[in-house]
Amino acid sequence: MSDRLSVDSSVCIGSGQCALTAPTVFDQDDDGYGMVRPGREDGAGDPLVREAVRACPVQAISFQEG
Ligand code: SF4
């Protein structure tokens, strides 16, 4: 199993904290909602991913470490 990162778009409020905190892994879509950059669903080994998970004000980011 590998690490798995996702944003729950039904919870996200589009604050942009994830993309600010870990910009190599997260981006914002055209409506401002957080998204995982394509191909980065494994977190890309970026230690900032944990920071981004914590930074999200509505806990919309899940990171399952496998
Ligand atoms: S930090 Fe959370 S609420 Fe803000 S854009 Fe990212 S996923 Fe959405």
Measured in Å, residue 50 CA sits from the centre of ligand 1 at: 13
20 touches ligand 1 (CB under 6 Å)? no
> Which atom of ligand 1 is least distant from the CA of 28?
5
CATH number for domain 4-64, candidates 3.40.50.300, 3.30.70.20, 3.10.590.10, 3.30.930.10: 3.30.70.20
Q: State pLDDT tens for residues 36-55.
A: 999 999 998 999 999 999 99
Confidence (pLDDT) at 31: 95
Helix-strand-coil split of the chain, %, nearest 5:
25, 20, 55
Q: State pLDDT tens for residues 2-42.
A: 789 999 999 999 999 999 999 999 999 999 999 999 999 99
Confidence (pLDDT) at 1: 63
23 touches ligand 1 (CB under 6 Å)? no
Domain positions in the chain = 4-64
Predicted TM-score of the model (pTM)? 0.93
Residue 65 has pLDDT above 90, yes or no: no
CA distance 25 to 52: 10
